[in-house]
Structure 1
Amino acid sequence: MIITCPACATRYTLADSAVGPQGRKVRCAQCGHMWWQAPEDDPVLHPDEVTEFHPVPPPSSKTPSSKTPSSRKTAPATSAADPGARRRALVGWGAFLAVLAAIIAAGYVGRATVVRLWPPAALFYETVGLPVEPPGSGLQLQNVRSEQKTEEGKSALLVEGQILNVSETARTVPALRVTALGADRQPLRNWTVEPVPTQILPGEIATFRDVQPDAAGVLEVMITFDGRR
């Protein structure tokens, strides 16, 4: 059955059993008006019981003048912030900032290694005012020679030379990378050599000497500052 509030004309769709065979007093959920609702075609006396109905009428029962309780919007209740959640959020942010600071510090202190592993990073460091010197900056190779010799009946390759500090400050001498070249200057193998000493003042010289077994096929050697130690 369909009932209508006499005061605001809000309509409700109800099952007959909701009113009951005796009828009952009902309250409009929209405007609060109360009236006696009897079952269809069966008026009865009014008992004291008051029933408030809050049904949602189907779309087909809506009229331009009707308003349903479901159309009213309610704001969600806000609860106080959970202190534990806030504490966990602060700890998380603190850990993130600590990791970020460690990454930045490592990038600053080890920028030479970063540039060696990824050369394009040199442009970034130069842009932010932290230029990175290439390995061997301020140092000069001199008196470098290589030769094949026989040791214990086997062919060996001797590589030796000097490193001069041509700058005006003390310099750390990086390791050297030696590349053996064969026919058509094709690389055969490479290895590192440690100069001595590893720190030299302006004008001082560090030396290096290395003997590699099995020099077969080696026609030339190439020596560069490796930058690793």
Structure 2
Amino acid sequence: MIITCPHCQTKYQVTYEAIGSAGRKVQCAYCQRAWQQEPVVPEAPPAPADEMFDAMAEDGLDEALVTEERAVAAELARRLAIEQEQARPETQKSAGEVDPAVIRKRQKAFLRRQSALIAHLPLARLRRAARVAGVLILCVLIGALYFGRVQLVERVPSLAGLYAGLGLGVNVVGLDFSNVTAQRALRDGKEMLIVSAQIVGLTADPVGVPPVVVTLLGPNGAAIYEWSVTPSVRDLMAGERSSFDTQLALPPGEAERMRLSFAAAAPQPGRAASPPSRSVPISSADQTNPEHP
């Protein structure tokens, strides 16, 4: 006789004696589901060829079902392996064929996650705060060294050379020269060197004006002749100016330039002894006033 699984419609050929007249519970080897099989009455008497099934007992049916179950399980395992192989990406089918771009992408993602975790640690926040504080302190220090360089050089005169090397001249005297001229001229048949300039105040507080030193320089820049002039004004403050003139009879003929500087013999209290200076070439009267002989 033939029985059919009501769940998956799989058919099995068994003997009538295996089911019996009262029926029995059987399990499908394909879908693994059980059902109560009722006895099936044969429509015709069994043929002689069916006598070979007369001796098949219930144990034989169980063995046939187990064998069928194993075959179905093997087929299912084979189909599952094929589906998994088809679903796996081409870049991961074998360890030797992994795409390097996939590895780099995973490494970058891992590093990003690791950095994000580390950034939230207390020690990382402390390091960031220390770096920010260090940058702010450095900016304040640079600003103080730049804008307060005059006060620093006043207290530490040796820093004047450091600032000069950086191209930041420091005028600690509080005075400067402007409109400086040096001109050769003839007066009463004598050659004269006429020097004129203005002294300018730079500070808000009055600054005492020291003597002005006039130095004549040769072709190689060496000093040839020098004298001092005492200005008529005693002190100057920001915005104030004082003019002065001086003359030298029969100046050295090899003098090419003239330099003005403040005397360092008696510097102001707390100020450095390196005064500012101005150097100009010595011109002739016929160059500035062509109408004069």
TM over 0.5: no
Q: Between Structure 1 and Structure 2, which shows a larger proportion of strand residues?
A: 1
Q: Which structure's CA Rg is the greater one?
A: 2
TM-score by length of 1: 0.40
TM-score (norm: length of structure 2): 0.31
